[in-house]
A and B are shown apart, each in its own frame.
Chain A
Amino acid sequence: QKEVEQNSGPLSVPEGAIASLNCTYSDRGSQSFFWYRQYSGKSPELIMSIYSNGDKEDGRFTAQLNKASQYVSLLIRDSQPSDSATYLCAVNIISNFGNEKLTFGTGTRLTIIP
């Protein structure tokens, strides 16, 4: 079974600090990696995508990818109370039929403490 693994948390971070979220995946053929944010009772909202090894920065968010280690992470700088949500790691897994399907981890619940 090709899976996406995340620590479910909860992860508590003081306001203004850096929140670090981690994800591992099992399919070495995966090429596309995403972070979604999901507020309670709401739908997943795309916040970052990354396709190449290294770092990708967008505002306060930095995604990091290491394909050799099959590891994706998300850093949130200057954490704000509004960042409190569940963060979903999603990976395009190649199926046995050669199609991609976006597969989600269980999510990490992040709480920013004022």
Chain B
Amino acid sequence: EPEVTQTPSHQVTQMGQEVILRCVPISNHLYFYWYRQILGQKVEFLVSFYNNEISEKSEIFDDQFSVERPDGSNFTLKIRSTKLEDSAMYFCASSGGRGNTGELFFGEGSRLTVL
């Protein structure tokens, strides 16, 4: 069964460093998303991406964050100058498109720990 894959599964970084989280969405999906979940809190929307551009972003997704689809398969989230409060699980998700069910399928997540 097709699935969303994410790497790395866990990354530890020093405050102020840049991190890149990578995702391979399900191959025929058109919409891509990043969500994050701080430990013990709810799953929060960060950004959605369609047709090689951001379609929606939350107030969390400020200039520290960026997304990119550098080739036909990968979808990346870059966090510049990480802060302690960026420590969270980051989930990538994909869906088939607006005209269909809108069901999102999530990867296993990348746990980011900022020290």
Contact = CB atoms under 8 A, between A and B. Distances in A.
A105 B98 CA distance: 22
Contact of B56 (A34, A97, A104): A97
Contact of A100 (B102, B105, B108): B102
A95 interface: yes
B42 A99 contact: no
Nearest to A92: B102
Contacts of B43: 38, 44, 88, 104
Interface residues of B, number: 22
A51 B101 CA distance: 9
Q: Is the interface of B mostly helix, strand, loop or mixed?
A: loop
A34 B95 CA distance: 13
Contact of B42 (A97, A102, A106): A106
A43, A88, A90, A101: most-surrounded residue (chain B CB, <10 A): A43
Interface in A29-47: 32, 34, 38, 42-46
A106 B37 CA distance: 10
* Interface range for A: 20 to 34
A103 interface: yes
Interface of A: 32, 34, 38, 42-46, 49, 51, 88, 90, 92, 95, 97, 99-107
Given A99-B48, A101-B56, 15 more contacts: A32-B101, A42-B109, A43-B109, A44-B43, A44-B91, A44-B106, A46-B103, A46-B105, A49-B103, A51-B101, A99-B56, A100-B102, A102-B33, A102-B45, A105-B42
- The 10 A-B residue pairs whose C-beta atoms are closest, nearest first, are A43-B106, A99-B56, A104-B43, A106-B42, A32-B102, A43-B109, A101-B45, A44-B106, A101-B56, A99-B55
16 contacts: A32-B101, A43-B91, A43-B108, A44-B43, A51-B101, A88-B42, A90-B104, A99-B56, A101-B45, A101-B48, A102-B33, A104-B35, A104-B44, A104-B45, A106-B41, A107-B42
